[in-house]
Amino acid sequence: MDNLTHTLFAVTLGRTSLGRAGRGTAAALVLASNAPDIDVVSALRGGTSSYMHWHRGPTHGALGVLGLGFASAGLVWLGRGWLDKRRHAEPTAPPKNASFGMLVAISMIAIALHILMDLPTSYGTRVLSPFDWHWYAFDWMPIVDIYLLIVLGAGLLFGLRSEAARRRNAAIALALMAANYGVRAVAHHQALQLAPRLFGPTLPARCANAPDTSGMLDEWPRSGADQAGYARADGRRCLVELAALPTFLSPFDWRIVAEMSNAYEIHEADVLDSRFRHAESAGDVFWRQSSRYPNIWTPPIARAAAAPAAQIFLGFSRFPAARVITDGRGVSTVRFSDIRFAAGLVALEQPVRRPAPFSLLVRLDASGRVIEQSLSP
């Protein structure tokens, strides 16, 4: 999730029993709720490639919970001591300070909740890093959920009148937040169940060596066949994976991605659309038209995929789509894009004014040697 959502969630938690465990716990909740995203500083030195390699890595794993928990608690402890030294004598006794152990426990809880909030997003997170660098995601939530922002913001705004109102509205906000997650989880399951109807008879059979994607938790990059290795024995195209990715405006609208052995096909779908459940008729064809993005891994693409920048990109990308064009001198330009973030793939021969987020360009000379590699943020 975005950092504004993490912050509002932390402030809401501060109005529950967690925030009343002693002076400093509310500050620890806010600081620790954002601490895992400190990995973005890696981009300051190494740019996009460093960001892709480290983002949602060790800071979002078990070591991050421990290390950042102690660091957050330590900063709050030191900051509280500094404020105490600067404070003038007060007529009333100050609130009881939370112990350092309590601050550590509160901080670790906040960091764990940050990770659990990132896991349901289609962006995913690497919860087992640095021991395992695979990404995991439930695909229920967009990166920014306007409904969470509204619920959390309203809960804080309407809880300003009294302590009782703060506690009551915090409880209501957390209940509505849980309901939002539940609705999205159910809608995601329905989208996957109804997805084959969108493609009709054009949806091919599954590849014999396709990964098992029947579970709720998605994982990538795949450890089985590479991008060029999915095929049927008869050479015809086959289905690798069906995925339903959330959209920003409605929990019932989904972006259905069908990964084939030679292309991606994408369809926007509303699970409340009655045409999903009605018997198929000739008039149904128009509403299930899909966008198609070729993804045939030719030898130049396979060589480009071995470049250092490509290895970082392919370790990050869930649905990498590759295109290549070779000019008269034998120079091949390969562009990799992540279907999750590419609203449309720009033709390689056209000037790229605004590259898709998280895309990679690799150029090879006539002998297949890499002469350029660049990642777009």
182: tokens are: 């539940």
- Name, of 6-15, 213-222, 236-245, the range with top average pLDDT: 6-15
User: What digits encode the pLDDT tens for the residues 103-119?
Assistant: 999 999 999 999 999 99
Eight-state DSSP code of residue 125 = B
Flag whether pLDDT at 300 surpasses 60.
Answer: yes
Flag whether pLDDT at 128 surpasses 90.
Answer: yes
Average pLDDT, the chain: 86
Q: How far apart are the first and last CA of the chain?
A: 18
Eight-state DSSP code of residue 97 = B
CB 310 within 8 A of CB 362: yes
Alpha carbon distance 301, 348 (integer Å): 13
Predicted TM-score (pTM) of the model is: 0.88
| pLDDT reported for residue 360 | 92
Q: Which of 139, 140, 267, 122 is nearest to 203 (CA)?
A: 267
203: tokens are: 């949806």
* CA angle, residues 146, 113, 26, in degrees to nearest 5: 90
Alpha carbon distance 213, 200 (integer Å): 20
List the single range of 10-14, 123-127, 224-228 with lowest mean pLDDT: 224-228
How many other CB atoms are there within 10 angstroms of residue 116's CB atom? Answer: 11
* CA angle, residues 47, 142, 210, in degrees to nearest 5: 85
SS3 state at 87 = coil
